[in-house]
Structure 1
Amino acid sequence: MIDALTGVLRLRPGQARPRSVENRRPDLAEALVRGKPAGDVPGMLGSLFSLCGHAHRLCARMALDAAAGKTSPGMPGAERSLQCETLCEHVRRIGLDWPAALALPASRDAIAASALKSLRACPALRGADAPLPDTRRWLERQLLAMPAQDWLERWNREPGWWAEWSAAGSGWLQRLVREARPAADWPVAAAEPLHAHAGAVSLRQLARSLSEDAGFTRRPRWQDDCAETGSWTRLNDAARALPATPWQRLGARLAELVRLTLPDAPGHGGGWLSFGAQPIAAGEGLAWVEMARGLLVHYACLDGVVAGYRVLAPTEWNFHAEGAVARALEGLAPTRDLEAQHRIAALMAAYDPCVRFEVELQALEQENVHA
Structure 2
Amino acid sequence: MTSLDTLAGVVRLRPGQARPGSVLNNRPDWAGTLARGKLAAEVPGLLASLYSLCGHAHRLCSQMALRAAEQGAVDADAGAARALQLETLCEHARRIGLDWPGALSPAAAKDAALSLRCCPVLRSREADSRDTRLWLQRHLLGMPAADWLRCWEARPDWWADWSATGHGWLPALVRSARSAADWPVAAAEPLHVHAGTVSLRQLAACLRENPGYTRQPRWHDDCAETGSWTRLHDAARPMPTTPWQRLGARVAELVRLSQPDEPGRSGSGWLAFGALQIAPCEGLAWVEMARGLLVHHACLDGDGRVAAYRVLAPTEWNFHAEGAVAAALEGLRPAHGAFAQRRIAALMAAYDPCVRFEVETQALQEEGAHA
TM-score category, normalised to shorter length: over 0.9
Q: Distance in 2 between matches of 1:278 and 1:33?
A: 20
Q: What corresponds to 1:278 in structure 2? A: 276
The within-5 A match list for 1:177-326 is 177-266=174-263, 267-303=265-301, 304=303, 305-326=305-326
How much does 1:70 deviate? Answer: 3.2
Counterparts in 2 of 1:220 and 1:335: CA distance versus 1, 3 Å: farther
Structure 1 CA distance, aligned partners of 2:128 and 2:273? Answer: 23
Do 2:337 and 2:365's aligned partners in 1 also have CA atoms closer than 8 Å? no
Deviation, structure 1 residue 369: 11
CA contact 2:11–2:26 (8 Å) conserved in 1: yes
SS at match of 2:178: helix
Name the CA distance, whole Å, in 2 between partners of 1:160 and 1:203.
35
Offset, 1:262: 0.4
Preserved contact between residue 12 and residue 334 of structure 1 (Cα < 8 Å): no
Q: 2:158 aligns with which of 154, 157, 161?
A: 161
Partner of 2:130: 133
Answer whether contact 1:66 1:277 (CA < 8 A) is retained: yes
* Contact preservation (8 Å) 1:293, 1:314: yes
> Separation in 1 of the partners of 2:234 and 2:47?
29
Which residue of the partner structure matches residue 112 of structure 1? 109
What is the aligned partner in structure 2 of residue 52 from structure 1? 54
C-alpha contact 1:102 1:346 (8 A) present in aligned 2: yes
Residue 332 in structure 1 maps to residue 335 in structure 2: no
CA contact (8 A) 1:13 1:334 kept: no
Displacement of 1:130 in angstroms is 1.1
The C-alpha deviation readout for 1:11-68, integer Å capped at 9, x for no partner, is 0000000000000110000101100000000000000000000000000000000011
| 2:91 corresponds to | 89
Query: Hey, what's the Cα distance between the residues in 2 that align with 1:230 and 1:261?
Result: 18
Once the two structures are superposed, residues 344-367 of structure 1 have per-residue CA deviations (whole angstroms, 9 ceiling, x without a partner) of: 000000001001100113445678
Cα distance in 2 for partners of 1:364, 1:289 equals 38
RMSD: 1.6
Deviations 1:147-185 (A, max 9, x none): 111101111111111111011123000100000000000
Is the alpha carbon distance of 1:162 and 1:76 closer, same or farther for their aligned partners in structure 2, counting shifts above 3 Å?
closer
Whether the 8 Å contact between 1:66 and 1:73 is mirrored in structure 2 is no
**Identity score, percent:** 70
Output the CA distance in 2 between the equivalents of 1:163 and 1:28: 42
Equivalent in 22, 25, 44 of residue 24 of structure 2? 22
1:2 corresponds, among 1, 4, 7, to: 4
- Residues 239/367 of structure 1: CA separation in 2 closer, same or farther (3 Å cut): closer
* Bigger mean CA offset, 179-188 vs 261-270: 261-270
Tell me, yes or no, if the aligned pair for 1:285 and 1:300 is still in contact at 8 Å: yes
Cα displacement (A) at 1:74? 6.9
Q: Does 1:346 align with 2:346?
A: yes
Local SS of the residue matching 2:309: strand
* Number of positions where the alignment pairs a residue of Structure 1 with one of Structure 2: 365
Q: State the one-letter code of the partner of 2:131.
A: D
Q: Which moved more, 1:70-79 or 1:181-190?
A: 70-79
Partner of 1:38: 40
Counterpart Cα distance in 2 of 1:74 and 1:316: 27
Change in Cα spacing, 1:211 to 1:163, as seen in structure 2 (3 Å) is same
1:362 and 1:100 map into 2 onto residues whose CA distance is 23
Q: TM-score, normalised by structure 2?
A: 0.95
Consecutive unaligned residues of structure 1, counting only runs of 5 or more, are none
1:147 aligned residue (144, 147, 150): 144
**What is the Cα deviation at residue 214 of structure 1?**
1.4
Normalising to structure 1: TM-score of the pair? 0.95
